[in-house]
A and B are shown apart, each in its own frame.
Chain A
Amino acid sequence: MRILTSYLIGLIFGVGISISGMANPAKVLNFFDVAGTWDPSLAFVMGGALVVTFMGYRYILKRPAPFLSPGFQLPTRRDLDLPLIGGSAVFGVGWGIAGFCPGGALPALGTGRTDVLVFVAALLSGIIAAKLLQAAITNRAQAQA
């Protein structure tokens, strides 16, 4: 039941990404290119997604628990720190260079294009490199403590 539900939710997300234009780097980069070939479509993607999620979450998160799981798993931190801001700044540089973000690229894999596969392989390498770096930083902090 959890597997089928997860698959269908992924499918809804994948169809949404596909028709919204988020899986299309030309459209994504044009959204940010206000000084050039500007295409404001992506503001509508963010707007549509935010309105639905904001209203849906308000209703859902009032319930004691989700339907297929014992509890909600929500991030609880509220502080702003360097990894959050620095990491997000770095993410933006990569997004601006390639035109794919993770949520746009993963559904785009379904088109069978090699260039999407190349991006996702590079993305996975970056995630693994960052995890190793994070582990090294933690070890060093523990060694010093």
Chain B
Amino acid sequence: MIETVFTPFQSLGGGALIGLASVLLMATLGRVMGATGILAGLLQPANLSDWSWRAAVLGGMISGPIAVLLITGQLPAVQVPVSTTMLVVGGFIVGLGVTFGSGCTSGHGVCGMARLSPRSIAATLTFMLTTGMTVFVVRHILGA
């Protein structure tokens, strides 16, 4: 476990930018800013124009840390307190879950909740609960 510093202002500001991106994508392309949906659509695009906007959003996302580096002089902190096995197992399980659940933190947790969608509210409550339970089991029962 790694102690992290409480950052209310950066987190609020970063959250507001995530919200701004969600509003702008709806205002321009009329689409939900969901990482799962955008990624899944890249694997099974309807046509070239559908593929290209998704690829452009992904390219922009990946440029985010580089923009932060150019502005602040350092890359954003990425600290991984879990083993490679846990990254692989966790990543695969996340992929299964978000596909069957039709969304993740950005799609359900931000865009769907903001529309007061009952499905997104239920999905968000469910995954927040199971994430918390999993962290408790992994850290305090299994002691990993």
Contacts and interface: CB of A to CB of B under 8 A. Distances in A.
Nearest to B3: A37
Contacts of A103: 18, 34-35, 104-106
A9 B4 contact: no
B4 A30 contact: yes
Q: Is the interface of B mostly helix, strand, loop or mixed?
A: helix
A33 B28 CA distance: 38
B17 A15 contact: yes
Contact of A123 (B21, B34, B92): B92
Given A25-B81, A107-B62, A121-B91, A73 B30 contact: yes
A27 B11 CA distance: 11
Contacts of A89: 97, 126-127, 129-130
A49 B95 contact: no
Contact of B100 (A29, A74, A78, A90): A90
B82 to A, nearest CB: 6
A91 B53 contact: no
Interface in A111-131: 111, 113, 115-116, 118-131
Nearest to A77: B119
B96 A6 contact: no
Given A97-B93, A115-B84, A127-B40, A110 B23 contact: no
Contact of A46 (B29, B86, B110): B110
Given A10-B56, A48-B18, A96-B134, A118 B64 contact: no
